[in-house]
Structure formats: C-alpha cells, structure tokens
Amino acid sequence: MDAAIEVFADRGAQGASVRAIAAKAGVSPALITHHFGTKEALKDECDERVMAAYADIKMAGMADLPGAMGLVSSQDRTLERLAAYFLRAILDGGEPGRRFFAKYIERTQQVLDEAVRRGQMRPECADAAHVRYLAAAGIGTVLVTMLTAPVGTRPYYDAADHPQLLDAQLDVLTHGAFTDDTVLRAFRAAIVHTDPPTT
C-alpha cells in the first residue's frame, strides 16, 4: 500500500499504472489486480489509508500538543508524504478530485468536533461552512507553496522549511486578524438585504 500511495502521489490517478505500482512494491501486476480488482479500487483504498493517517495525526496532536509540534518541526517526512498525496489528489480534479475533497471534509469535521469536545475550538467554528472553509484554506496554503517552490527545493509545506508561515497561520487562527467585528457585521447586514442568486 505504501508503494501505491507513493506512485499516486508522484504521478496522479491518471498517470499511475498498476505496472508502475507493482514495480515499486516489488510484486507482480497480477497480484495487485487479484487483491484490489481495479486501479480505481486501489486508489480508493489509498485515499482511505491517507485520510486515516491524517486524522490520526490531528487527533494525536490535540492530545499531545508538545509532541505534535515536535513532529512538524522534525525531519520525519510523514507529513510531507501525506501532503504530496493530498495535493496530487486535488490537482487530479474531476470527479476523483471532488470525491477526495469530500472525504477530506468529512475527516476534518471529525477532527474539529473533537477539538470542540476538548474545549480547544469554539463550537460555532465547527459547522459545515467553517469546516469547508478551513479545509480549503489548509489545502490552498500547501498548494500554493508546492506550485511556487523554486526549482531544486522540496516543494512541500512543512514547518521545518516554513516556520514563520506556520507561525503566522496559527496566530491568525488563534487571535484573528481584524481588531473587531466591524467588517463581519457589515457583511452580514449586506447579505440580509441581498436576494439570494437564482438558478
């Protein structure tokens, strides 16, 4: 499974082949087909494995914040590998990309619900709209970092390479950016007096 995750992360769903995955794993293509049936079924299994690892890291981080900070600042490349897979899955686009993002939102919801339960997050920030925003914002930060990385550098976002960026992200999440709720109140007042778009 690790070999398949690495190949999908490197080549995407369309570019990855059962033959390439088998070569990476050191097994025959027939063995992979026997176990999973199709490449699509294997990709779905990889998605679930990656999502479970993501949720496990987030849940463990809430229970042990010092340990979590140690992981993101260490030379452990677990987070980098997960980021590579996430980004390739989103960049694949189409229906596979939409399905992956929907799974990501589901896992993020579970993580944020746990954060609320632990008293680490305001309950109003764990509704569907906030969860979707936070999931997209997190992916967006990593995506921009990947696509704009200088040639010859590791193109993934991790705290070892970008401590100031991660610090800024956590600062905004913790303290907010605006000094008061003036902009929010103005927006909500405008929305109340605006007819919803028609389809």
Give the Cα-Cα-Cα angle 153, 134, 13 (nearest 5 degrees): 55
How does residue 23 score in pLDDT terms, banded at 50, 70 and 90?
very high
pLDDT of res. 193: 62
- With respect to residue 79, please indicate whether it lies within any of the assigned structural domains: yes
Collapse the DSSP code of 16 into the 3-class scheme (helix H, G, I; strand E, B; otherwise coil) and give the result: coil
Q: Report if residue 197 sits inside a domain.
A: no
Q: What pLDDT score does 183 carry?
A: 95
Mean pLDDT score of the chain? 84
Q: What is the pLDDT of residue 156?
A: 55
Query: Residue 36 pLDDT more than 80?
Result: yes
The DSSP call for residue 64 is -
* CB-based contact 9:85 (threshold 8 Å): yes
What CATH number has the domain bearing residue 160? 1.10.357.10
Mean pLDDT computed over 139-159: 69
> In the prediction, which pLDDT does 131 show?
96
In a domain? residue 165: yes
Q: pTM here? A: 0.79
- What value does the mean pLDDT take over residues 108-137? 94
Does residue 77 fall inside a structural domain? yes
Residues in the chain: 199
Residue 160 has pLDDT above 60, yes or no: no
pLDDT value, residue 192: 73
d(CA 183, CA 180): 8
Residue 63: alpha-carbon gap to chain centroid:
20
Number of domains in the chain: 1
Lowest-pLDDT range of 14-18, 36-40, 68-72: 68-72
Is the separation of the CB atoms in 8 and 43 below 8 Å? yes
Residue 21 is assigned to a structural domain of this protein: yes
198 lies in some domain: no
**Residue 137 lies in domain:** 2-192
What's the rounded Cα separation, in Å, for the pair 92 and 160? 27
